Structure 1
Amino acid sequence: MYEGHTIGVVVPAYNEEGFVGDVLDSLPDFVDRVYVVDDASTDGTWDEIRAHAAIERAPRAGESDDTDGQVVAIQHEVNRGAGAAIKTGYLAAREDQTDITVTIDADGQMDPGMMTRFLDPIVAGDADYAKGNRLSNPEFRHEMPRFRLLGNWMLTWLTRIASGYWDVTDPQNGYTAISLPALEAIDLEGMYEYYGYCNDILVKLNVAGMRVADVDMPATYGDEESSIEYNDYIPKVSLMLLRNFLWRLGSRYRTHPLGIAYLVGIVSGVVGIALGVRAAGATLTGSESDDGRKSLTSLVVGVVGIIVGVVLDRRENT
């Protein structure tokens, strides 16, 4: 227990033999319950988890238990993705009515000694969700590989637009803490199960009216290997963010000037592009057409509409 709050920790693990046990051993003493979720690993991860677990339970996180063991071992029968492992742990923590639930990776990149920095904003009532940020401090981000840094900045801006949290940075960070009211307010069952779960949950939190805080932390890389396939990851997450952006607008701003501005901007932009393509086709065939002028007009309206939408969005969510 920390400052009168029960603390749970979700540790998703996939092929983390040699790492997950050390992570479990290093968790602070104030942690009340640890939900270790093995996402159908093919190495010795599950055996390592079981060696640390006081109890085991089935993959369905809604099941209750009659013991007071600190470590709860949960195993997926098939590999479902990082987001699914987090969701399974969240469901278990919600079922146990844990006051604050932390997520920390099983690869040893995240320092459990920093956990109080994530808990404090929630304990103080200043935030409902706290997440790590490796990008705000140049001293912290210098260890991050360049391709990851570039991808993170790109996804930062896409997530800001999709979620409405315009000051959030490093949305891919998996070191987080969430309050029980926030966990109960979002559609946990519908949580994205791929690596973009970090981005997805931010959109869900915004729609639920929750407050988010960034926590500065260093970027640390060791001997662990990432299982992310970026040629598959980026298109999937980008498409998910587009769907979530449209869902957020429909849920919160359907008749709001913000939503109308975005809608006008998007529709005009699409029409402008379509007219531009048709104008290019007419030019190639030597046909006469004023689609070029119409395309330019539509594109200008589209850009203005989106800019107005962004300005109103920032004002509404600051």
Structure 2
Amino acid sequence: MYRGHTTAVVVPAYNEEPFVADTIASVPGFVDRVYVVDDGSTDGTWDEIRRAAASADQRPEATEFAERVVPIQHDANRGVGGAIKTGYLRARTDRIELTAVMGADGQMEPEMLGDLFDPIVEGRADYTKGNRFLGATDRGDMPAHRFVGNAALAALTKVASGYWSAGDPQSGYTAISLRALEAADIDGMYEFYGYCNDLLVKLNVAEMRVVDVPRPITYGEEESHIRYRSYVPRVSAMLARNFGWRLGRKYLVYDFHPLVGAYAAGAVASTAGALGLLWALPGVGSFATPVARGAIALAFLLLGALAFVAAMTMDMHANAHLSDSDDPYGRDAQRARGNRDTDAVQVELPAAEWSSLLDDASPNGDAPEAARRLRERLRDRVAEPDRAD
């Protein structure tokens, strides 16, 4: 458990034989369940998962579940989103309060799980996600083509999802609350790469709060399965459909907001302006002169642009309460830039003071509560000014 909450990690795996066992072994001890989903792998991934599960540390005293590592196998490849959806549905059935996603390729830092869980436990978020650019000064080890593709999809996802201040939507290192698993349409989740963008739209319609947490940009020996030439157009088309679905559900079916009219006016005016430019070509139209026709077309384009700006401004205002970032310029941002030494704090206390702290932290013998109270006391102790000799 983590701070008194049941926890799970979903590990989607497709042809990750060299990495999956190490990933399973790296999951922190406070995680109660690890759902490892083999998404129709053609190599030895399933055998590695079963071996890792058999040798996993089973600790029935720390959880009500009979087994910690749960191997799940798909008969055929459904896509990474499909594998994560399978894990989410199992976590929802098991009433897990905090569920994270860790890729089987070892790119995601297990020590960051607590950072993802904290905003949910503290009631500030329903869904958290790592943001590789929050507080970073450059793109780190990210290849240029990935950076450009991520930037384009990030802009489209902001418009489609309504989470205007959330960044790096392609980051798969996430955590979700049981409340969000029950409120969002998990059963209808997109099953391929792009699932994270699709899920953000569903979370927004369900009025779930999203918090970005800084994380480092790291790439190891694993090879990405994403092919950006097909991935970006396909996900862009999905986001366009989801954008229309979000506006219809959130601002027409569930409630009404004038921003729908502003978006519609922008679309109509922009379409008219684009067609008007064709009509302005010499020899195409007979009304007025080509210059006059071009001026009319440009006026429509300008009206369309103004309508879109007004609609986006209203959309930003309507959704401002649903997204935030966690400590973008503090200790977590330094971790995201790779300066992990700033997190190490040495606490030297006399034996009597340690004994007092332990007694105060565990008055009723509740181990998870004792750990939480002790951590809070130590944080308070570290925050105190240095004592005089």
Q: TM-score, normalised by structure 1?
A: 0.92
Cα deviation, residue 266, structure 1: 1.4
**What per-residue deviation string (whole Å, max 9, x for no partner) do you get for residues 128-181 of structure 1?**
000000012325731211111111111111111111111101000000000001
71, 83, 86: which is aligned to 1:85?
A: 83
Distance in 2 between residues matched to 1:271 and 1:246, nearest whole Å: 20
- Select the structure of larger CA radius of gyration: 2
**Alpha-carbon distance between aligned partners in 1 of 2:316 and 2:159, rounded to the nearest angstrom:** 9
Larger deviation, residues 153-162 vs 113-122: 153-162
Alignment CA distance shift 1:8-1:140 (3 Å): farther
- Match for residue 187 of structure 2? 189
For residues 239-318 of structure 1, the aligned pairs below 5 Å read 239-254=237-252, 255-280=256-281, 283=282, 285=283, 287-290=285-288, 291-318=293-320
User: Which of 180, 185, 197 matches 1:199?
Assistant: 197
- Offset at residue 51 of structure 1 (A): 0.8
Instruction: List, as ranges, runs of 4+ consecutive aligned residues in structure 1 with deviation greater than 4 Å.
Output: none
Q: Is the 8 A contact 1:126 1:211 kept in 2?
A: yes
Picking from 141, 160, 168, the partner of 1:143 is 141
The aligned length equals 305
Mapped contact 1:50–1:73 kept (Cα < 8 A): yes
CA distance in 1, matches of 2:273, 2:89: 45
The 5-angstrom pairing of residues 1-80 of structure 1 reads 1-54=1-54, 68-80=66-78
Q: Secondary structure at the match of 1:74?
A: strand
Deviation readout 1:155-213 (Å, 9 max, x if unpaired): 11111111111110100000000000101001111100111001011111111001000
Pick closer, same or farther for the CA change 1:183–1:272 going to 2, 3 Å: same
Counterpart residue type for residue 140 of structure 2: H
> Which TM-score applies when normalising by structure 2?
0.76
Q: Assess, with a 3 A threshold, how the Cα gap between structure 1 residues 160 and 141 changes in structure 2: closer, same or farther.
A: same
Could you tell me which amino acid in structure 1 is paired with residue 166 of structure 2?
Answer: V
Following superposition, the deviation at residue 9 of structure 1 comes to 0.5
- Aligned-pair Cα RMSD in Å: 1.7
Runs of at least 5 residues in structure 2 that lack an aligned partner in the other structure: 56-63, 321-389
Amino acid at match of 1:299: L
Any conservation in 2 of the 1:12–1:37 contact (CA below 8 Å)?
Answer: yes
Distance verdict in 2 for CA 1:140–1:292, change over 3 Å: closer
Q: Are the structure 2 counterparts of residues 286 and 232 from structure 1 closer, same or farther at C-alpha, using a change threshold of 3 Å?
A: closer
CA, structure 1 residues 154+205, in 2 after alignment: closer, same or farther (shift >3 Å)? same
Is 2:128 the counterpart of 1:130?
yes
Q: CA deviation at 1:6?
A: 0.3
CA contact (8 A) 1:279 1:292 kept: yes
The residue type equivalent to 1:309 in the other structure is: A
